[in-house]
Amino acid sequence: MHDPNSPWWADNADLAEIMTVDELTELGTGDIAYIKPIKARDLREMFPDVPPLHDNMTLYALLNADGTPILLADSREAAVANAFEADLEMASLH
């Protein structure tokens, strides 16, 4: 049965013949990025070398399409500017 919250092609068994899991994982890597607000207390997992910060501080991580961290900024605008300078296309996540 088709999930109404996913695209019609998501249930297509033929999709596996078009792209491998590795190809799908690499889709957009280096070209597409997204910004994720993140609390300082949650940074250690993404950025192990980050210095101690106030736990409730919100920072903005610019992430590659595959979730690899690119940079950490203190404002969303700074993260967007860096993405623009690097010619990255921004994806919107919901």
> In terms of DSSP bridges, do strands 89-90 and 32-39 run parallel, antiparallel, or are they unpaired?
parallel
Return the pLDDT at 31: 81
CA distance 63 to 43: 13
- Summarised one tens digit per residue, pLDDT across range 21-72 is 565 555 556 688 899 999 988 887 777 788 888 888 999 999 988 888 889 9
Return the pLDDT at 47: 74
Tokens of 19: 């792209």
Q: How far, in whole angstroms, is CA 87 from its chain's centroid?
A: 15
Q: φ, ψ for residue 80 (rounded to 5)?
A: -65, -45
Going by pLDDT thresholds of 50, 70 and 90, the confidence category of residue 90 is confident
Contact 84, 62 (CB under 8 A): no
Contact 23, 29 (CB under 8 A): no
